[in-house]
Amino acid sequence: MSEAEQVPASAPEAASAVILNATDSNGTEALNATAKFVATPEGTALAYGSLVFMALLPIFFGALRSVTCSKSKELGENDYHSGFRNSADMPETITSRDAARFPIIASCTLFGLYLFFKVFSQEYINLLLSVYFFVLGVLALSHTMSPLMSRIFPVSLPNKQYQLLFTQGSGESKEEIVNYEFDTKNLVCLCISSVVGVWYLLKKHWIANNLFGLAFALNGVELLHLNNVSTGCILLGGLFVYDVFWVFGTNVMVTVAKSFEAPIKLVFPQDLLEKGLEANNFAMLGLGDIVIPGIFIALLLRFDVSLKKNSRTYFYSSFLAYIFGLGLTIFVMHTFKHAQPALLYLVPACVGFPVIVALFKGELTEMFRYEETPAEEAGTKEDSSASDKKDQ
């Protein structure tokens, strides 16, 4: 975060720098540098504290929901659909090959956006991105709300089942293109999410931005599964280098950040105490700083569960490490008055703390041997097992 450097947002893959800035309500730079907003100590503390608190929510609850996903995945695709019903809700397993390629893909995406903003009109690009993230945000927020809606939905109201089915061809060559099952509860969630989406699309209000941002982050932590700890180390290590290079080595990330308008960051106004909900000078935290460490923390929670010791040692140690790393990022940024790549501090903390705990407990080898089966393989094994039983 930096009061001297005004950066309104982060790019999707580049959303991993912590920034404190002076911007207007649309995220554009203040034109009069001499009249730049100076946050009060109370406003700064409130903004920092709120960002940290919001960052912890999707990591904590996303990790808990990832355990449910993992258990359902082990039961096989058919049983999984009985709870979530749609393959789009199945967790995506990240392998070591995926992890090694991800920083390269992220760098290409970032540089591609940089070229797009240099060549094409920023206004039209952001219009397309707004529509794109509107659709994604509505779906993500709807999925996030589903468990809560299942609990509070009145029993007296009928919960009807629906199915959206698109097929191609006929007879034996018929192929499913879309097969989406939903019910009345899902429709209510979709309606509420659509209202938030329209609010964001029309006003770009910071609360609507945060609702979408939290939904994206929680879904990411819940549905993106690392297959083992080694893969997590490869991913975090690669993005550590990526983050440092693009923040300190070039102006590409800053250029894209100044041009990009999308709910891929959490924001909180520093002038909330003075202006209320109409405040427009924001501190920001990219979703990359939440999701990337978050999926590693979620993996450690699933490892804790696999040990069957009724203990969450590795989850809590990594969770506390995240708080420490993010706090250190804010401290360094505030001390040197310069935007910081948060993964520079989060990666060593989130990897180092659990490894030290594992060394003390003598479980380091067991931690690195822990392996999760991809959802596709789990479904295949389940189908094969069912077929064998049928044959017998």
Tens of pLDDT, residue by residue over 175-201, are 888 778 888 889 999 999 999 999 999
Kindly indicate the confidence band of residue 54, based on its pLDDT and cuts at 50, 70 and 90: very high
Residue 16 burial (10 A CB sphere; 0-12, 13-18, 19+): buried
pLDDT of residue 165: 85
- pLDDT, average across residues 131-146: 93
Kindly indicate the confidence band of residue 4, based on its pLDDT and cuts at 50, 70 and 90: very low
* E strand spans, the chain: 17-20, 92-94, 161-168, 175-183, 224-226, 265-269, 282-286, 340-341
pLDDT at 34 over 70: no
Cβ neighbours around 246 below 10 Å, total: 26
Q: Which is higher by pLDDT, 67 or 5?
A: 67
Q: Phi/psi zone of residue 290: left (φ > 0), alpha (ψ -120 to 50 degrees), beta?
A: alpha
| CA 144/CA 219 separation, integer angstroms | 7
- pLDDT, average across residues 51-70: 93
pLDDT of residue 205: 92
Span 83-120, pLDDT tens digits? 444 555 678 899 999 999 999 999 999 999 899 888 88
pLDDT of residue 75: 55
Say whether 243 is catalytic: yes
pLDDT of residue 62: 95
Name residue 285's beta-bridge partners.
18, 266
Span 278-332, pLDDT tens digits? 888 888 898 999 999 999 999 999 999 999 888 899 999 999 999 999 999 999 9
pLDDT of residue 170: 80
**Which residue intervals of 120-251 are DSSP H helices?**
122-152, 184-203, 206-223, 229-244
- Cβ neighbours for 336, distance < 8 A, ≥ 6 positions apart: none
| CA 241/CA 93 separation, integer angstroms | 23
pLDDT at 33 over 50: no
pLDDT at 143 over 80: yes
pLDDT at 11 over 50: no
Q: Are residues 209 and 200 in contact, defined by beta-carbon separation less than 8 angstroms?
A: yes
Instruction: Report the relative pairing of strands 224-226 and 175-183 from DSSP bridges.
Output: unpaired
pLDDT of residue 180: 80
DSSP 245: I
Q: Which of 26-30, 121-125, 140-144 has the highest mean pLDDT?
A: 140-144
Q: Which segment of 37-41, 45-49, 305-309, 326-330 scores lowest on mean pLDDT?
A: 37-41
pLDDT of residue 16: 57
Q: Which is higher by pLDDT, 234 or 41?
A: 234
Q: Are residues 178 and 106 in contact, defined by beta-carbon separation less than 8 angstroms?
A: no
Say whether 289 is catalytic: yes
Name residue 178's beta-bridge partners.
166
Cβ neighbours around 75 below 10 Å, total: 14
Instruction: Report the relative pairing of strands 17-20 and 175-183 from DSSP bridges.
Output: unpaired
- Cβ neighbours for 256, distance < 8 A, ≥ 6 positions apart: 10, 11, 14, 110, 113, 114, 117
pLDDT of residue 49: 94
Q: pTM of the prediction?
A: 0.84
| CA 321/CA 335 separation, integer angstroms | 21
Which one of 79, 183, 271, 289 is the catalytic residue?
289
Which one of 24, 98, 183, 243 is the catalytic residue?
243
Average predicted confidence (pLDDT) for the chain: 82
Name the percent of the chain lying above pLDDT 70. Answer: 81
Give the closest residue to 78 by CA, choosing from 381, 385, 382. Answer: 382
- pLDDT, average across residues 374-384: 50
pLDDT at 387 over 70: no
Kindly indicate the confidence band of residue 375, based on its pLDDT and cuts at 50, 70 and 90: low
pLDDT of residue 28: 41
Instruction: Report the relative pairing of strands 92-94 and 224-226 from DSSP bridges.
Output: parallel
pLDDT of residue 79: 42
Give the closest residue to 136 by CA, choosing from 197, 87, 89. Answer: 197
Token pair for 332: 């360094």
For residue 16, which amino acid is it?
S
Residue count of the chain: 392
